[in-house]
A and B are shown apart, each in its own frame.
Chain A
Amino acid sequence: DAKTTQPTSMDCAEGRAANLPCNHSTISGNEYVYWYRQIHSQGPQYIIHGLKNNETNEMASLIITEDRKSSTLILPHATLRDTAVYYCIANNYGQNFVFGPGTRLSVLP
């Protein structure tokens, strides 16, 4: 079973920030939080990952709470091409990724 829970679906207006939450209340101290997204029938695309500190790259920002029990992926200016299923995964070295159903994000014009 996935160690994370996410809302089933979310909508976001084009140009606005999309904030996707993830709960990982049972995460262990050495597990990273990874975010991937999958556009219909393509392979999942890596977005970002982090352990304790907030992270930012050209695609998104990852905010991890101090107790590490939850995190938020932020797409600062969502576009129609960001419509996808977003997966949040808690993973440790040597473990396989366990994907849950993810959040279906719809960016609306």
Chain B
Amino acid sequence: KAGVTQTPRYLIKTRGQQVTLSCSPISGHRSVSWYQQTPGQGLQFLFEYFSETQRNKGNFPGRFSGRQFSNSRSEMNVSTLELGDSALYLCASGYGGLDNEQFFGPGTRLTVL
């Protein structure tokens, strides 16, 4: 099975711009979660989508949003970028059931200048 893929792998933006990141889950997985990783805060949960519905949400401002499509692919969007949004954004997919095993993609490294 192919793993979780994320595009793009690297991105450079300037403050005030917006960005969209994409995640393709492992075939058959219906749950997609997004995480932000920074040196100061570690790995922090952003949100989870399951069957096109947001099931969980972390403690991030409304500038961070996401969606999931009928084929389980997911996108996350960050509007009005700030310097502090520079981070590794990770996506993880899973079946979303009782056994909540998740598999992570390689991440998208976002740099905000």
Contacts and interface: CB of A to CB of B under 8 A. Distances in A.
Contacts of A101: 42
A22 B90 CA distance: 24
Interface in A83-109: 87, 91-101
A95 B101 contact: no
A100 B107 CA distance: 19
Interface stretch (B12-20, B67-75, B78-86, B92-100): B92-100
A95 B56 contact: yes
Given A95-B56, A96-B33, A99-B43, A46 B103 contact: yes
Interface footprint category on B:
20 to 34
Contact of B88 (A41, A92, A95, A100): A41
B8 interface: no
A44 B45 contact: no
Main secondary structure of the interface of A (DSSP, over half): loop
Contact of B56 (A32, A34, A45, A94): A94
Given A42-B107, A43-B105, A46-B103, A96 B56 contact: yes
Interface footprint category on A:
20 to 34
Contacts of B58: 96
Interface in B39-84: 42-45, 48, 55-56, 58
B101 A49 contact: yes
B43 A43 contact: no
B98 A44 contact: no
A78 B40 CA distance: 29
B111 interface: no
Given A43-B90, A93-B98, A93-B100, 18 more contacts: A32-B100, A42-B106, A43-B92, A43-B104, A44-B104, A45-B104, A46-B103, A46-B104, A87-B43, A91-B100, A92-B100, A93-B97, A94-B56, A97-B33, A97-B45, A97-B100, A99-B43, A100-B42
Interface of A: 32, 34, 36, 41-46, 49, 87, 91-101
